[in-house]
Structure 1
Amino acid sequence: MKKIENSFAVTGFIGKDAEIRSFGTVSVARFSIAVSRADKTGGETSYVSAFIGIEAWRKNEAVDSFDVLKKGELITVVGYFRPEEWTDSKSGEKRDRVIMVAT
């Protein structure tokens, strides 16, 4: 049986300084990275860009690693995908998204 892995590795530039929040003994840094890929159509090459949202959780004694999460820094992020579901408090509609969690 083949193993199915829930993992990613992506390299890009940080879009803006990380937003850092503390919760008791842990902290989370939320930030986005800009990535692009070449799209060759015919003889022309164009670049398609996107911003990807990332979460990084650390114990409070390890939050020094968040110091490098500054706008414009080129980084490689490795992690896993975490699905999230909730009900919108205003509309009552069910919502979902996939969060990319850095490890």
Structure 2
Amino acid sequence: MAINTISVSGNLGKDCEQRWTPNGKAIASFSLPVKQGYGEHEKTSWVICKMFGSKAEKLPEYLTKGTKVTIVGEFVMEEWTGKSGEKKSAPVIIVNQLDFGGSGNQAGSQRAQQPTPQPQQSQRPQQTAPQNIEPPLDFDDDIPF
């Protein structure tokens, strides 16, 4: 049996984008950095995170550039055919749980003082990952973004 769960913590690279399917279902997407390697071989890649349904309707106003979040979700490779007919793919995380943390910028620090949005609590019953994998709220790293 394979388990497909990924946890990523970081600051949003840009504001969350929200769009709607023809059937009226909300889709929200944002990007998070993922570091690989170390020293002079360290590389940062940006992974796209997507939410669907009620989470995607309510959370985008809180997900602005620089906001620190920790997400738990399912890793998938999204595939499509480009305008020129070539096949393309990109790694995507389908978000199951999203938790807000501190932020690395001034605006994010102000947002952290606001109450946590209610939709976050409605996600917890759907959670399948263990509760103890999240970093402590006072976790302070030296990542510059």
**TM-score, normalised via structure 2 length:** 0.54
**Cα pair 1:21 1:29 within 8 Å, conserved:** yes
Distance 1:99 1:37, change over 3 A: closer
> For residue 45 of structure 2, what is the amino acid of its counterpart?
A
**Cα pair 1:28 1:55 within 8 Å, conserved:** yes
Distance 1:93 1:36, change over 3 A: closer
Aligned equivalent of 2:94: 101
Aligned equivalent of 2:5: 7
The Cα shift of 1:47 comes to 5.3
Q: Deviations over 1:30-79 (max 9, x none)?
A: 111124467258xxxx854332211111238x622222211111000111
Give the number of equivalent residue pairs. 95
Does residue 29 (structure 1) correspond to residue 22 (structure 2)? The answer is no
1:86 to 80, 91, 104: 80
> For residue 86 of structure 1, what is the amino acid of its counterpart?
W
Distance 1:58 1:52, change over 3 A: same
**Bigger share in helix:** 2
In structure 2, how many angstroms separate the alpha carbons of the residues matched to 1:100 and 1:57?
A: 12
**Bigger share in strand:** 1
Gaps of at least 5 residues in structure 1 are none
Segment of structure 1 superposing worse, 6-15 or 80-89: 80-89
> For residue 29 of structure 2, what is the amino acid of its counterpart?
R
**Cα pair 1:13 1:35 within 8 Å, conserved:** no
Distance 1:64 1:87, change over 3 A: closer
**Cα pair 1:37 1:47 within 8 Å, conserved:** yes
Aligned equivalent of 2:99: none
Aligned equivalent of 1:64: 58
Distance 1:52 1:85, change over 3 A: closer
Which stretches of structure 1, 4 residues or more, deviate above 4 A after TM superposition? none
**Which one has more relative contact order, counting CA pairs under 8 Å at least 6 apart?**
1
Give the share of equivalent positions with the same residue, in percent: 28
> For residue 47 of structure 2, what is the amino acid of its counterpart?
I
The Cα shift of 1:18 comes to 0.7
Alignment RMSD: 2.5
Aligned equivalent of 1:16: 14
